[in-house]
């Protein structure tokens, strides 16, 4: 990607505006709604009759990401994807991205170019335009703020508070893998800190590492649902764990639910590494987070349409609010679900995202 990978260019050599020019010179707008991108006081976006969706996310070094084991290109990609996922969870299409970065002098121009390379890769894959942003200095570490706008027809937008009693609960993909990828990376980090001569033992764990370091936003799922003419009654992306997200839907919609443990999709690699760590795989799925799969509810009449779709699982149904939010175990026991997922403001797991 770079002519001289060994050269380090200090941020001070370019200054703020020179750095902006360096990082954004390759941008080409892809969407007709992107009227004006980088180069003015504000981006200009026109949606006409479409509804505008906006989401933002703040990433702080040492809290949701650890530079010990996070490649900058992967970090840039993931930072974009988690915001695309929020738009997609509203049944919308992400269109524009704005980024703010604060970096200490520990980071070179080449390092930030690598970060941007990941953002560009995500934007190209999902057809999103990077239309602006801001940079400043930091006294410690790296801070990334990303805002994404998207669009949807008014009658296509899906909320959390519109689920109905009796709806089926569905989830895309499989759960718990990203959390186990994080635990694996944390384990190898501890080994390395104890002995700098030890190399990470990550062989055979490609799947769960990718789930943690390079997740994808499930735009394919909402496109497929539209193709078969199913509009979810409610939807959310799984960023903080299945338990937390189903509680959001139930609380917002004033409903209860029954989730069936045996129906929750968990990849065999996730199961194996969970057993290695002596953790129940179901706990990983319920409380792990960062899978960025879609949790959605549909009318029961659509069961025959959706039951045989590869990569979508029906895992339960919604009930009256007074019945509570429950997990039905493999043995048939009803267990109340509580949220144990990621909360950036709570001190747990040493501040690492789970």
- Could you say which DSSP state residue 199 is in? P
CATH number at residue 290: 3.90.650.10
Confidence label for 5 from pLDDT (cuts 50, 70 and 90): low
Full-model pTM:
0.88
- Residues 176, 147 within the same domain: no
Structure tokens at 26: 């390759």
* Residue 158 forms part of a structural domain: no
> What does pLDDT average to over the chain?
90
- Residues 145, 241 within the same domain: no
Give CA–CA dist 119/173, Å, rounded.
23
State the total domains in the chain: 2
Structure tokens at 338: 């509580």
Confidence label for 348 from pLDDT (cuts 50, 70 and 90): very low
- Residues 335, 211 within the same domain: yes
- Residues 145, 182 within the same domain: no
Structure tokens at 216: 């994808």
- Residues 117, 264 within the same domain: no
Render pLDDT for 117-168 as a digit per residue (tens, 0 to 9): 999 999 999 999 999 999 999 998 999 999 999 999 989 999 999 999 999 9
Give CA–CA dist 51/56, Å, rounded.
17
- Could you say which DSSP state residue 155 is in? T
Domain interval for residue 128: 11-152
* Residue 135 forms part of a structural domain: yes
- Residues 83, 191 within the same domain: no
* Residue 5 forms part of a structural domain: no
- Residues 267, 142 within the same domain: no
Helices 206-213 and 268-276: crossing angle in degrees, nearest 10, is 90
Q: Considering 94, 125, 152, which residue would you say is the last residue of a domain? A: 152
- Residues 118, 244 within the same domain: no
**25 exposure class (CB count in 10 Å sphere: 0-12, 13-18, 19+):** exposed
- Could you say which DSSP state residue 36 is in? E
Structure tokens at 18: 């020179």
* Residue 39 forms part of a structural domain: yes
* Residue 291 forms part of a structural domain: yes
- Residues 213, 141 within the same domain: no
pLDDT attached to residue 350: 37
CATH number at residue 130: 3.30.1330.10
* Contact indicator for 177, 141 with CB cutoff of 8 Å: no
Q: How many residues does the chain have?
A: 354
Q: What percent of the chain has pLDDT over 70?
A: 93
Nearest to 209 by CA among 185, 192, 229: 185
- Residues 187, 273 within the same domain: yes
Confidence label for 111 from pLDDT (cuts 50, 70 and 90): very high
Q: Considering 105, 121, 152, which residue would you say is the last residue of a domain? A: 152
Q: What is the pLDDT averaged over residues 278-286?
A: 95
- Residues 280, 211 within the same domain: yes
* Residue 157 forms part of a structural domain: no
Q: What are phi and psi of 119, to 5 degrees?
A: -65, -45
- Residues 194, 75 within the same domain: no
């Amino acid at each position: 990607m770079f002519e001289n990978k060994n050269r380090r260019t200090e941020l001070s050599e370019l200054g703020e505006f020179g750095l902006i020019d360096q990082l954004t010179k390759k941008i080409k707008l892809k969407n007709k709604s992107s009227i004006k991108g980088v180069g003015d006081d504000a981006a200009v976006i026109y949606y006409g009759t479409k509804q505008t969706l906006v989401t933002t996310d703040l990433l702080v070094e040492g809290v949701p990401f650890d530079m010990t084991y996070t490649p900058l290109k992967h970090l840039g990609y993931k930072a974009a994807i988690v915001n695309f996922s929020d738009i997609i969870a509203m049944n919308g299409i992400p269109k524009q991205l704005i980024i703010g970065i604060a970096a200490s002098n520990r980071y070179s121009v080449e390092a930030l170019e690598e970060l941007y390379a990941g953002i560009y890769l995500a934007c190209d894959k999902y057809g999103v335009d990077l239309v602006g942003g801001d940079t400043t200095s930091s006294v410690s570490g790296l801070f990334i703020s990303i805002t994404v706008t998207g669009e949807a027809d008014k009658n296509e937008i899906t909320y959390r508070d519109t689920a109905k009693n009796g709806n089926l609960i569905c989830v895309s993909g499989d759960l718990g893998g990203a959390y186990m990828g994080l635990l694996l990376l944390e384990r190898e980090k501890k080994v390395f800190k104890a002995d700098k001569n030890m190399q990470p033992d990550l062989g055979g764990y490609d799947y769960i590492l990718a789930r943690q370091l390079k997740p994808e936003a499930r735009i394919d799922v909402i496109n497929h649902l539209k193709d078969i003419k199913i509009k979810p009654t409610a939807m959310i992306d799984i960023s903080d764990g299945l338990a937390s997200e189903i509680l959001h839907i139930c609380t917002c919609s004033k409903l209860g639910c029954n989730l069936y443990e045996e129906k929750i999709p968990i990849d065999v690699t996730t199961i194996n590494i969970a057993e290695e760590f002596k953790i129940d795989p179901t706990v990983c799925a319920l409380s792990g987070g960062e899978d960025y799969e879609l949790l959605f509810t549909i009318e029961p009449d659509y069961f025959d349409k959706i039951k045989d779709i590869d990569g979508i699982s029906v895992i339960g149904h919604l009930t009256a609010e007074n019945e509570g939010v429950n997990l039905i175990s493999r043995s048939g026991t009803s267990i109340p679900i509580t949220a144990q997922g990621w909360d950036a403001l709570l001190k747990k797991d040493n501040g690492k995202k789970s």
